[in-house]
Amino acid sequence: MSGVAAHYGRVRGVLDQITAALESMGLDPATGVDPAVLAPADEFHLGGHEATMALTASLGIDTDSSVLDVGCGVGGPAREMARTYGCHVTGIDLAREFVYAAEGLSLMTGLESLTTFEVGDVTVLDRGDRAFDAATMLHVGMNVPDKPLLFEAVAAALRPGGRFGVYDIMRTGDGELGYPQPFAADESDSHLAAPDDYVSALESAGMEIIHIIDRSELVGRVVKRAAEGPATPLNLGLVMGREFPTMFANLRTALQGGVVGPIEIVAEKR
Ligand SMILES: C[S@@+](CC[C@H](N)C(=O)[O-])C[C@H]1O[C@@H](n2cnc3c(N)ncnc32)[C@H](O)[C@@H]1O
């Protein structure tokens, strides 16, 4: 197992843990769960649900769209897109445990016919005869050293005119990061890059940049609201284990120091 897969595969029984948390909240997963309830545990990126909606608003997704979500995690963004736009989403992720949980959570929320999840490495996508109408990638590029290779793989899976929404933690300043981070146990699996590096890799993969937006304000608002709100048994500790608070504290320090920032880039395949 690669270091990245091991980092994200540290919790065994993710689906069981989320199920137990739902039951402790008085919900019965067997009779169906509102997908919005899952957001604190299944949207594994800064700004959660709000950031997903912000990213996907300009991708031209509708009920006829087939969307690829690279590095889908336990499938929160895929389910939110399916629920909001009525599209079909294919999620691909390295972590087998996450893919298993993603399938279970889609069944629980009645979104199994609009979402498909596969175990795979997004830098070696098996394109088959698929040409997706849009693609998304939320908080994944930090684990991928070769971004030109990654974006070439995504571009090859998109139809001409299809849009690609990237939302990553990018390097925005000098300085060291403390580890573990939510995206890497140590420096060896951390491949942060600056927005300019993303832009040149996207352009060299045949994509045109539509916009670049710093989502710091959105993230600050969502993090403040979560900190002020009641604690919920549903949280990313269920997905990443007991060290998650330390990981998040290290990320928060880097964000506050301007070393990294949550950056959205939307590009279109020529
Ligand atoms: C921080 S999580 C984000 C998950 C999801 N995009 C979300 O926002 O909820 C990063 C995910 O990227 C996946 N990942 C990292 N590198 C990958 C690769 N080369 N191929 C497929 N998945 C990858 C990890 O397994 C992990 O699930």
Sign of the alpha-carbon dihedral angle for 14, 3, 44, 79? negative
Report the separation in Å between the CA atom of 11 and the middle of ligand 1, taken as the mean of its atom positions: 15
Task: Return all residues near 20 (Cβ < 8 A) that are at least 6 apart.
Answer: none
Taking CB atoms and a 6 Å cutoff, what residues make up the pocket around ligand 1? 4, 8, 43-45, 71-73, 76-77, 92-95, 98, 121-123, 138-140, 143-144, 183
Looking at residue 2, its pLDDT comes to 79
Looking at residue 150, its pLDDT comes to 96
User: Looking at residues 122-132, what average pLDDT do you find?
Assistant: 79
Nearest ligand 1 atom to the CA of 95 is 25
User: Looking at residues 1-14, what average pLDDT do you find?
Assistant: 90
Mutation test of ligand 1: which of 10, 68, 143, 181 has the most ligand atoms closer than 8 Å to its C-beta? 143
Burial of 161 (0-12, 13-18, 19+ CB in 10 A): exposed
Going from the C-alpha of 73 to that of each of 14, 45, 208, 209, 269, the distances in angstroms are 11, 10, 27, 25, 24
The beta-strand segments (E) located in the chain are: 66-70, 88-93, 115-119, 132-138, 158-171, 207-214, 260-269
Looking at residue 130, its pLDDT comes to 72
Looking at residue 25, its pLDDT comes to 95
User: Looking at residues 28-46, what average pLDDT do you find?
Assistant: 95
Of 81, 35, 91, 36, residue with least CA distance to 61:
81
Looking at residue 83, its pLDDT comes to 97
Report the separation in Å between the CA atom of 115 and the middle of ligand 1, taken as the mean of its atom positions: 16
**How far does CA 107 lie from the centroid of its chain?**
20
Instruction: Map 133-168 to HEC letters.
Output: EEEEEECCHHHCCCHHHHHHHHHHHEEEEEEEEEEE
User: Which domains, ranges and CATH numbers included, belong to the chain?
Assistant: 3-125+134-269 (3.40.50.150)
Place of tokens 């964000």: 255
User: Looking at residues 71-80, what average pLDDT do you find?
Assistant: 98
Report the separation in Å between the CA atom of 221 and the middle of ligand 1, taken as the mean of its atom positions: 24
φ, ψ at 37 (rounded to 5°): -65, -30
User: Looking at residues 249-268, what average pLDDT do you find?
Assistant: 98
Mutation test of ligand 1: which of 80, 140, 146 has the most ligand atoms closer than 8 Å to its C-beta? 140
Report the separation in Å between the CA atom of 217 and the middle of ligand 1, taken as the mean of its atom positions: 24
Report the separation in Å between the CA atom of 54 and the middle of ligand 1, taken as the mean of its atom positions: 19
Nearest ligand 1 atom to the CA of 76 is 9
**CB-based contact 131:241 (threshold 8 Å):** no
Report the separation in Å between the CA atom of 85 and the middle of ligand 1, taken as the mean of its atom positions: 22
How does pLDDT run across 191-244, given as a tens digit for each residue? 999 999 999 999 999 999 999 999 999 999 999 999 998 888 999 999 999 999
How would you list the strands of the sheet with 207-214, edge to edge? 115-119, 88-93, 66-70, 132-138, 158-171, 260-269, 207-214
Looking at residue 231, its pLDDT comes to 86
